[in-house]
Amino acid sequence: MGVVTSLLDPSSRSLVLAVVSVFVVVCLMLCVITGADEDDRALVRSDSRRLRSWQQGIAMGGDTTTVATVTVLVGMVAVSGFDGLGVMLGSLLGVVLFLVLLVEPLRRHASLTAADLLDARGSGGRAVRLSWGAVTLLVCFPLLVVQLVVVGNVAAALIGQPGLRTGCIVLIGCVMTALAVIGGIRGTGVVMIAKSVITLPVLVVTAVLVLHRFGGDPGRLLDAAAHGSHMGEAYLRPGGYTGDGWVGAVNRIGQMFGMSLATLAMPAVLMRAISTKSPRGARIAGRWMLGELVLLYGALAVVGVGAAALVGEVLREAGPAAQVFTPLVLGRALDHGGVLVAALACVLFLTALAAVVDVTLAAGIALGRDVLGTSGTPVAGRRPSGRADGATSRWSAAATGAVASVVAVVAADWNLVVVSTLWLAICGAALAPVLLYAVYWPGFTARGALWCLWGAAALSIAALALSPYTSGTPGSLFPGHDFKVWDVTIPGLVTAPAGFLLGWLGSVTDRRWPANGRRAQGTSEKGKEKGRGRGRGKERERELDVV
């Protein structure tokens, strides 16, 4: 943190703390005013009180933009060049796929969580719903931990007291959990919009200042970045982060493929798409989301390249731990007065805080609705509704935030790249294939969903446990041990296809899967199953009426 403690003078620190404090207080007030009522089902507002489609789109773009996007990706571009830009491209590709393939069917068939889509398409059930909720928690927890650790580090460094990191993590975790519990979908959406209104202009201005420093000539900027990074022409070629040879190729393809699928199935983004007013509204929201992210990633790419050109030497000397502060180091190089550094520090705070709020809410709804909601006995085929379901989701969100804060304190000194790779791998290999199969393959069954969810999640954890991220290198979680079996650090090229294969294999080996690849519906021998299907349809109609 030494490279950061000198970035802000006392007056700048006071400005940052004042802006962030005002933002948190305003967000608390907005959440109280616009948040979910006590009897709202799963913290989702009724149609008359939802955000407009374009507002949901901006909030969905904010869900995709975590603090890792603004810090780790910018640092990756600054240090390794082309590979960092590839991650941004993969994320944008995932948004396009989400807009084209999923957003409308998801809103049409799901009422509260994505597991409703599986029920509506005939590949659901109690076991599938519980499994979906559990794997969603496996995705949300690492993401929450990363956000809390990064914002805790930044807060402690900006205050000038690194020893206060644990207190910062706990305090921020408590405040953000309160915002999620009070606000619900609508209240946290307002927080996301406020964050985007502040974050996007600051990053665009920073990118403009970088281009202005080089006379508006991108060629000069790239040449200076290649020189400042000490990589030369290699800065503009693949391999700076992913490596060379076959391992580098597997890492690069897995990075692009895995990032696209993970963006396609991010739980917080799915939650917001489901909460739009209609399938058409979901499509409009997706367009706004894509437009926001194109502008944002363009600005982040320029900021990362500018950091390599202007402060590459400083970042290299500070080491990997300083990459999270890359935007702040660049801000000091562009504006010695400290105003830009203060603005960028606010961006880091607000991005992390808003991400924690929405991910906590998504995890709480998954826990309350899909995991705990399956443990009770339905009455007359109906799930708990209104006050009971909303209270369960509130308590679940509170418990999720509390546990994530404790885990973040324990994991504060871990390699955060490992934690980030874990949630990306599970999300892209387990959640995305299940969603795509449920929408586009009539032969997809509950067994296929279970095999995909648990098999792909277990394979993703094993792939990272046996990689250099976990052991065998100085930056590993266990540097004193060496039990790695391969050198691949980004396993998306293996885990994602394995998830699709497991979903297919589980479905075709299911005894209910007929020879023509379509589920039988309403045959004479399956009158009871047909009746259960009608019951599920009526249950779904009741749920849609409530929502």
CA–CA separation, 88 and 291 (whole Å): 14
CA–CA separation, 374 and 371 (whole Å): 6
Does residue 379 sit in helix, strand or coil?
A: strand
Structure tokens given for 287? 């367009």
Q: Decide: 258 and 496 in contact? Cβ < 8 Å.
A: yes
Q: Decide: 67 and 234 in contact? Cβ < 8 Å.
A: no
Query: Could you give phi then psi for residue 490, rounded to 5 degrees?
Result: -125, 95
The DSSP result for 330-397, as a single string, is: HHHHH-TTSHHHHHHHHHHHHHHHHHHHHHHHHHHHIIIIIIGGGTSPPBTTB---THHHHHHHHHHH
Query: Could you give phi then psi for residue 380, rounded to 5 degrees?
Result: 55, 40
Angle of helix 279-318 relative to helix 267-274, nearest 10 degrees, comes to 160
End-to-end, the C-alpha distance of the chain in Å comes to: 48
Tokens 């990756």 appear where?
76
Beta bridge partners of 471: 478
Per-residue pLDDT of the chain (547 residues; tens, 9 = 90+): 445 555 556 666 676 677 667 777 776 776 667 655 544 454 555 444 567 888 888 888 888 887 777 877 888 888 887 777 888 888 889 889 999 999 888 888 887 788 888 888 888 788 999 999 999 999 998 888 888 888 787 777 777 676 778 888 888 888 888 877 777 777 778 878 888 888 899 999 999 999 998 888 888 888 888 888 777 777 877 766 777 777 778 888 888 888 889 888 999 889 888 888 888 888 898 899 999 999 999 999 999 898 888 888 777 776 666 677 788 888 888 877 667 877 887 788 778 777 888 888 888 888 888 888 765 434 333 444 445 556 777 788 888 888 888 888 888 877 777 888 888 899 999 999 999 999 999 889 999 999 999 999 999 999 888 888 888 777 777 777 778 887 888 888 889 999 999 999 999 988 766 544 555 443 333 333 444 444 444 444 444 333 3
pLDDT the model gives residue 541: 40
Q: Decide: 360 and 366 in contact? Cβ < 8 Å.
A: no
Structure tokens given for 457? 């999640």
pTM of the entire structure?
A: 0.83
Structure tokens given for 246? 């076959």
* Closest-CA residue to 123 (of 503, 467, 541, 547): 503
Tokens 């085929």 appear where?
381
Q: Report the amino acid identity of residue 378.
A: P
Q: Decide: 345 and 159 in contact? Cβ < 8 Å.
A: no
pLDDT the model gives residue 528: 39
516 C-beta neighbours (distance < 10 Å), count: 9
CA–CA separation, 158 and 133 (whole Å): 37
Radius of gyration of the chain (CA): 23
